[in-house]
Amino acid sequence: MLNQIATIIADGILLGLIYAIAGVGLSLVLGVMGIVNVAHSAFLMLGSFFAFELFRRLAIDPTISFFLAFPVFFAVGVIVYRMLITRVELAPQTQGLVAMFGLMVLVESLGTIAWTTDTRVITAAYTNRSILVGPIMLANVKLIAGALALLLIIAFWAFLRYTLTGRAIRAMGQNRFAAMTVGINVQALSTIMFGLGIACAGSAGVTLGMVFPFSPNTQILWLAWAFLVVILGGLGNVANTLLAGLVVGLIQTGVAAFLPFDYVYLVLYVMLAVILVVRREGLSGAVHRWI
Amino acid sequence: MPVSAPRLEIANVIAGYTPGHPILRGVNLKAEPGHITVILGPNGAGKSTLLKVIFGFLTPEHGAVRLAGSDLSNLPPHQHIEHGIALLPQGRSVFPELSVLENIELGGWSMRSDRKRLREAVEAMFARYPHLRPLQHRVAGSLSGGQQRAVEIARMLVANPSVLLIDEPSAGLSPIVAHQVYQELVALKDEGRTVLLVDQDVRAAIAIADYVYVLNSGKNDIEGDRAAFEGDLGAMVRGWLGV
């Protein structure tokens, strides 16, 4: 019994790391720029297909794709920022929300045309193997995906905390006007930051694709997970996002161990509703919390 | 720290937030190096708007902002720092969740490619304001109003600007701290910097002014040196402003 509980906890932590990384980019873009990027999950999905295609066509392992996805999706993020966000970022938030929703639908539709709605899996050499760590049985793929997610989260945290550019991003989230008075080019920094958010989504999508079956439609489910993590953890704070991801992961594995899997979503969404009621502010209020 | 500062010149500037509805309607002024030039006027006169135009937050519809003869009218705000212009905005402007050290470091954002120079500039600020050194790891938002103002001034000075645009520096501060802020502005002027001060505290501003402009409804109204404003003209302006 104790072994089973330990396995559930370890499994929940690994899943939680993946959920946390799915929420980090969304949290940062929302917290600093005030953009509700509902298209975030579309880039998670594209990240999964990025790894899928590299694996299928070039036999590139998803762990390599994880690192390749970051610069590729950073470039995608920069393009999206320049072509779309700059046109709506000064408009009322609803206008930006509609634009991002449109982008999400566009990406999902293009994904459906390219890959159909069939469910895909990435079956790497280690996908169906497990490792016994003491009394705990862990799936290799979750261990690898969790480690990659943790690596990215730590890198992101260190970037925001210890680099001058990271501090400038945090400063911009706290007082955009004052950031401009010290000579920060907020337009250039916003471009970098949105690029980083999408880069995070791309790499997170690779880890999600390693662990879960996916199709272009799966992104809606992932969007709910990402928002759940963001609402639970608050905005722009990497440590809180990590904690929130771990809570969601542990609840999922804990509930799934004792109840039919469908109850997992029931519990998670009830939790989401309770958080929104208790906090009484939702995302619009959360935007004003500082990073 | 002697500074070789240029003259700042505002020439017939027309500007506003909505095209066709200018707040500034042909403002002219000059701010000389080593002088404190004060801009006074009632609420809505366009004082803060003028600082926004000078720092590039607003592009004038007409006229020019010149520094040592170069037109800066179309430069974005971040490029003004590179020309030696710094702005101390009205109200609290620290980054509240960053430490004092991180706040001051960001003042040297334009020097980020030369970390050694940036570190030396930050150290110079702690030497100039030694009371900030023990607070350097404190979160800026947890400091008192006066301490936050000191952080903002140190942050403004890290890049060693030669032209200082100061907007309502004493707003929300106790009289003692406000007095210290005005004394610091005098010290900055004595270093040779060009200081352009917008203020509602007419008495305090005139007391340190070398030259005073009064704006009214977005236009130049009256102007003169401090002596002119300390006499009858001063009383007239104070009466006109209702202070």
Interval A79-119: pLDDT, tens? 999 999 988 877 776 788 889 999 999 999 999 999 999 99
Are B78 and A185 in contact (CB < 8 Å)? yes
- Measured between CA atoms, the residue of chain A closest to residue B110 is A183
**Cβ contacts (< 8 Å) between B161 and chain A: which residues?**
none
Residue (of A120, A88, A85) closest to A210 by Cα position: A120
Please give the pLDDT value at position A270.
Answer: 86
**pLDDT, average across residues A237-253:** 88
Are A167 and B106 in contact (CB < 8 Å)? yes
- pLDDT grade, residue A291 (50/70/90)? very low
- Is B164:B156 a contact under the CB 8 Å cutoff? yes
**Cβ contacts (< 8 Å) between A179 and chain B: which residues?**
95, 106
Are A178 and B95 in contact (CB < 8 Å)? yes
Are B105 and A170 in contact (CB < 8 Å)? no
Tell me the C-alpha to C-alpha distance, in Å, between residue B37 and each of B2, B5, B7, B221.
19, 14, 11, 15
Tell me the C-alpha to C-alpha distance, in Å, between residue A279 and each of A237, A246, A275, A282, B104.
17, 20, 6, 7, 34
pLDDT tens column, B93-122 = 999 999 999 999 999 999 999 999 999 999
Residue (of B106, B115, B101) closest to B81 by Cα position: B106
The answer for A79, left when phi > 0, alpha when psi is -120 to 50, beta otherwise, is: alpha
Interface predicted TM-score (ipTM) of this complex, two decimals: 0.90
Per-residue tokens: A133: 């760590």
- pLDDT grade, residue A233 (50/70/90)? confident
What single-letter amino acid sits at B44?
Answer: G
Separation in Å, CA of B115 to nearest CA in chain A: 10
**Residues of chain A with a CB closer than 8 angstroms to some CB in chain B:** 164-165, 167-168, 170-171, 174-175, 177-186, 290-291
Separation in Å, CA of A180 to nearest CA in chain B: 6
Are B87 and A181 in contact (CB < 8 Å)? yes
Higher pLDDT, A84 or A272: A84
- Measured between CA atoms, the residue of chain A closest to residue B107 is A182
**Cβ contacts (< 8 Å) between A164 and chain B: which residues?**
105-106, 109, 112
Asked if pLDDT for residue B1 goes beyond 70, the answer is no
Are B97 and A185 in contact (CB < 8 Å)? no
pLDDT tens column, B140-167 = 999 999 999 999 999 999 999 999 999 9
Lowest-confidence pick of A165-169, A227-231, A267-271, B232-236 = B232-236
Per-residue tokens: A234: 């608050």
**Cβ contacts (< 8 Å) between A183 and chain B: which residues?**
77-78, 80-82, 109-110, 159
Q: Does B110 touch chain A (CB under 8 A)?
A: yes
Per-residue tokens: B164: 């200082």
B88, B106, B159 ranked by CB distance to A168: nearest: B106
Are B77 and A181 in contact (CB < 8 Å)? yes
pTM to 2 decimal places:
0.87
CB count within 10 Å of CB A91 equals 11
Determine the Cα–Cα distance for residues A132 and A115; give it in Å rounded to an integer: 36
Separation in Å, CA of A186 to nearest CA in chain B: 8
Please give the pLDDT value at position A153.
Answer: 93
Helix, strand, coil tally for chain B in percent (to 5):
40, 25, 35
- Is B194:B33 a contact under the CB 8 Å cutoff? yes
Please give the pLDDT value at position B3.
Answer: 66
A165, A180, A182 ranked by CB distance to B107: nearest: A182
Q: Can you spell out the DSSP letters for chain A?
A: -HHHHHHHHHHHHHHHHHHHHHHHHHHHIIIII----TTHHHHHHHHHHHHHHHHHHH---HHHHHHHHHHHHHHHHHHHIIIIIHHHTTS-HHHHHHHHHHHHHHHHHHHHHHH-S--B----TTTT-EEEETTEEEEHHHHHHHHHHHHHHHHHHHHHHHSHHHHHHHHHHH-HHHHHHTT--HHHHHHHHHHHHHHHHHHHHHHHHHHS-B-TTHHHHHHHHHHHHHHHH-SS-HHHHHHHHHHHHHHHHHHHHHS-THHHHHHHHHHHHHHHHHH--HHHHHTTS--
* H helix intervals, chain B: 47-55, 77-82, 100-106, 115-128, 145-157, 175-190, 202-208, 226-230, 232-241
Determine the Cα–Cα distance for residues A45 and A216; give it in Å rounded to an integer: 6
Per-residue tokens: B26: 């042909």
Separation in Å, CA of B112 to nearest CA in chain A: 8
Percent of chain A with pLDDT over 70: 95
B93, B97, B98 ranked by CB distance to A181: nearest: B93
Q: Taking CB atoms and an 8 Å cut-off, how many pairs form between chains A and B?
A: 68
Residue B233 CB-density burial (10 A; 0-12 exposed, 13-18 middle, 19+ buried): middle
Distant-in-sequence, close-in-space partners of A52: CB < 8 Å, separation ≥ 6? A120, A122, A209
Are A175 and B94 in contact (CB < 8 Å)? yes
Separation in Å, CA of A184 to nearest CA in chain B: 6
Please give the pLDDT value at position B242.
Answer: 62
DSSP state letter for B131: G
Determine the Cα–Cα distance for residues A44 and B34; give it in Å rounded to an integer: 57
Question: Which SS3 state, helix, strand or coil, does residue B30 take?
Answer: strand
CB count within 10 Å of CB B76 equals 14
**Helix (H) or strand (E) run with residue B198 in it:** strand B194-198
A174, A179, A180 ranked by CB distance to B97: nearest: A174
- pLDDT grade, residue B222 (50/70/90)? confident
pLDDT tens column, B12-40 = 999 999 888 899 999 999 999 999 999 99
Q: Does B159 touch chain A (CB under 8 A)?
A: yes
**Cβ contacts (< 8 Å) between A171 and chain B: which residues?**
95, 98, 102-103, 106
Please give the pLDDT value at position A286.
Answer: 47
What is the sign of the dihedral through the CA atoms of A230, A232, A234 and A239?
negative
Q: What phi and psi, each to the nearest 5 degrees, are found at residue B76?
A: -70, 160
- Is A96:A89 a contact under the CB 8 Å cutoff? yes
Please give the pLDDT value at position B2.
Answer: 56
Please give the pLDDT value at position B85.
Answer: 95
DSSP state letter for B139: B
Determine the Cα–Cα distance for residues A156 and A148; give it in Å rounded to an integer: 12
- Measured between CA atoms, the residue of chain B closest to residue A189 is B78
Please give the pLDDT value at position A290.
Answer: 37
Residue (of A47, A38, A91) closest to A210 by Cα position: A47
Residue A267 CB-density burial (10 A; 0-12 exposed, 13-18 middle, 19+ buried): middle
CB count within 10 Å of CB A47 equals 30
A164, A174, A186 ranked by CB distance to B95: nearest: A174
Determine the Cα–Cα distance for residues A68 and A54; give it in Å rounded to an integer: 10
Mean pLDDT of chain B: 91
Q: Does B17 touch chain A (CB under 8 A)?
A: no
Are A183 and B95 in contact (CB < 8 Å)? no
